[in-house]
Amino acid sequence: MDSSTATTFPTTGLSPERRDLYARLDKKSAAPLWEVLGKIIPPEPTPETVSVVWRYDELRPLLLEAGRLLTAKEAERRVLVLENPGLRGQSRITQSLYAGLQLILPGEVAPAHRHAAAALRFIVEGTGAYTAVEGERTMMHPGDFILTPSWTYHDHGNPGDVPVIWLDGLDVPIVNLFDASFRESFPGETQPNAVPEGDSHARYAANMLPVDWTPKRASSPIFNYPYSRSRETVHSLYANGPVHECHGVKVRYINPAQGGPPMPTIGAFLQLLPKGFRGTPYRATDATIYAAVEGRGQSRIGDTTVTWGPRDIFVIPSWAPVSHEAGEESVLFSFSDRPAQQVLGLWREQAPVAS
């Protein structure tokens, strides 16, 4: 075969006639399906994503160093991208999602912009900063789950006294798969405070809706799910029982207007693992990003065991069996592309996984 011919499959051992056919196909931008069928349609998921843990105490000083070296205005968003070792150079934490740790220092503003990609923020450290979405500000506290839905203007500011750090999660790879990415800066650095703080909670978070309300988008009409309420919820469910053999006590964040996920492409979850919990193995097709909020424990992921403590971040690849153990009462936040898979009829789970 011509050495300039590019193939995605081995050609050694082929007859001269087949090599010649493949070379001529290549010149026509065509290829033989039978040589790649088992790879592109495998009998079960074969993810390039691998299980990995990022130690917050190791990343935090590097993020603060970045804060000293460049301003928020220079960077626009001062973020350390969490790249999965199986997907280096692709700015992905899983095949379908992006994640990073973002820093905003006292006195700084991250300018307003909007983009086609939907985003979540899970606050990791610090108080006194805010996120503004479509003209409404919300103060951020550790453990809060905050949305910036697709094509909504958003900016961040820190009028407080301490650095604030959060975990970003975006559906950038999904948007880019469709070549549908758009981005636009706001005319000014920040949006005007056009909506009173707390307005969205008053309108949409009390099991009631304004009688004449019509949804503007598929995402949740509220954009801050405070940790104080979420933590109380899982604690109450634990007190009332029962505890799931795989998940402990696990809840999903919802769009209160229709009961579905908070965003069409990204689902988010919170789970409490009681002290001494030893979960049975579980697996699903949505590769999942976890952030430890409270407690310490370990997770058995396939043949690998990762230990985690407060603020550590780790990944479960698609269809990898996982079982969690907690040495003390622990809380885990997680997010994945489950809603996108479910609407496409692709999502599958198995619980418990046979050993």
63-96 burial string, b = 16+ CB within 10 Å, else e?
beeebeeeebeeeeebbbebbbebbeeebbbbbb
**pLDDT for residue 189:** 86
Q: What mean pLDDT comes out for the span 134-154?
A: 97
**pLDDT for residue 81:** 98
Residue 3 has pLDDT above 50, yes or no: no
**pLDDT for residue 322:** 98
pLDDT one-digit tens code per residue, 13-44? 899 999 999 999 999 999 999 999 999 999 99
Ordered by where they begin, the domains of the chain are 52-204 (2.60.120.10), 224-350 (2.60.120.10)
- Average pLDDT score over the chain: 95
In the chain, the N- to C-terminal Cα span, in Å, equals: 46
**pLDDT for residue 273:** 98
> Which of 58-62, 75-79, 328-332 is the least confident region?
75-79
For residue 65, name the pLDDT band (cuts at 50, 70, 90).
very high
**pLDDT for residue 354:** 78
Higher pLDDT, 2 or 50: 50
Q: What is the CB neighbour count within 10 angstroms for residue 1?
A: 16
For residue 71, name the pLDDT band (cuts at 50, 70, 90).
confident
Residue 1 has pLDDT above 70, yes or no: no
pLDDT one-digit tens code per residue, 311-331? 999 999 999 999 999 999 999
Q: What angle do CA 103, 126, 91 make, to 5 degrees?
A: 30
The answer for 187, left when phi > 0, alpha when psi is -120 to 50, beta otherwise, is alpha
pLDDT one-digit tens code per residue, 200-239? 999 999 999 999 999 999 999 999 999 999 999 999 999 9
For residue 5, name the pLDDT band (cuts at 50, 70, 90).
very low
For residue 6, name the pLDDT band (cuts at 50, 70, 90).
low
Q: What mean pLDDT comes out for the span 169-192?
A: 95
For residue 345, name the pLDDT band (cuts at 50, 70, 90).
very high
Nearest alpha-carbon partner for 164 in 141, 135, 143: 141
Residue 340 has pLDDT above 80, yes or no: yes
- Give residue 247's Cα distance to chain centre: 19
Residue 127 has pLDDT above 70, yes or no: yes
**pLDDT for residue 4:** 43
Q: What mean pLDDT comes out for the span 264-283?
A: 98
29-38 burial string, b = 16+ CB within 10 Å, else e?
eeeeeebeee
Residue 270 has pLDDT above 50, yes or no: yes
CA distances (Å), 161 to each of 54, 132, 157, in order?
Answer: 27, 19, 12
Q: What mean pLDDT comes out for the span 134-156?
A: 97
